């Protein structure tokens, strides 16, 4: 099961998880980080590194945050605002660098 980054990361983006990921599959949007589910090897190294506990397996997201699972995949499979092509599997965030754009779901997201 791939890992997902949920609500607690929005507007925080500590990036400690990125340092722990052995396959460099955590990408930086504008307000939140995203784990590429097709590049994630399910090792779990990122989860304990997150100081705000935003990372869980996709089947274990906190109640009420299930939409983050689909949105995490959407970040890679659909073109982001201002882009013609989806990110797909870029092969590592280190080479790509910060994307700086979020899905519409995150761009419009307001915390309770």
List pLDDT tens digits, range 1-46.
699 999 999 999 999 999 999 999 999 999 999 999 999 999 999 9
Residue 61 confidence (pLDDT) above 90 = yes
Residue 112 confidence (pLDDT) above 80 = no
Domain assignment present for 112: no
Domain assignment present for 57: yes
From residue 59, alpha-carbon distances to 6, 37, 67, 69, 70 in Å are 12, 12, 11, 8, 11
What pLDDT is attached to residue 87?
96
Q: How confident is the model at residue 93 (pLDDT cuts 50, 70, 90)?
A: very high
Domain assignment present for 29: yes
Domain limits at 18?
A: 3-107
Domain assignment present for 97: yes
Domain assignment present for 26: yes
Q: How confident is the model at residue 111 (pLDDT cuts 50, 70, 90)?
A: confident
Query: The CATH number of the domain where 73 resides is what?
Result: 3.30.70.20
Domain count, the chain: 1
Domain assignment present for 13: yes
């Amino acid at each position: 099961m791939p890992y997902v980054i949920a609500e607690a990361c929005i507007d925080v983006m500590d990036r400690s998880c990125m340092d722990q990921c052995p396959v460099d599959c955590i990408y930086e949007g504008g307000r939140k980080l995203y784990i590429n589910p097709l590049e994630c090897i399910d090792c779990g190294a990122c989860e304990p590194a997150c100081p705000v506990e935003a990372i869980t397996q996709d089947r274990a997201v906190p109640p009420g945050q299930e939409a983050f699972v689909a949105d995490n995949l959407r970040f890679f499979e659909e073109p982001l605002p201002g882009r013609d092509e989806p990110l797909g599997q870029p092969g590592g965030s280190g080479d790509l660098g910060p994307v700086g754009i979020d899905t519409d779901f995150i761009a419009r997201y307001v915390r309770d």
